[in-house]
Amino acid sequence: MLRPIRHWADSKTRCHIFTCLTAVKLLRIIELRLRNAGVNMTAHMQKLHSCLWWLPDRRKTVRTLKEPTDEQGKIIQAFGWKIAGGVLQET
């Protein structure tokens, strides 16, 4: 996170620190939301690949997802989404 900073300008150093602290805060919010949904784990969605399709017969794009792991599925459900037929949908 806050590793040695290699910025020369004070403004860039402050921006770097702000970005790091914001990321930590967002991860904490995600973890609290997961805990409230009964999912006791840290937030990690590594290797959940998606693809955005623009199909000629549709006006909107369609996002398809690789089949998530059980843990990834729990995280997706905790945020009010589901994957049906490879398509991310709101529940």
Report pLDDT digits (tens) over 48-71: 667 777 778 878 887 777 777 788
60 near 52, Cβ under 8 Å? Answer: no
**Measured distance CA(65)–CA(44) in Å, rounded:** 16
Look at phi and psi of residue 87 and say left if phi exceeds 0, alpha if psi is from -120 to 50, else beta. beta
Would you say residue 24 has pLDDT above 60? yes
- Where residue 2 falls among pLDDT bands split at 50, 70, 90? low
Residue 43 confidence class, pLDDT cut points 50, 70, 90: low
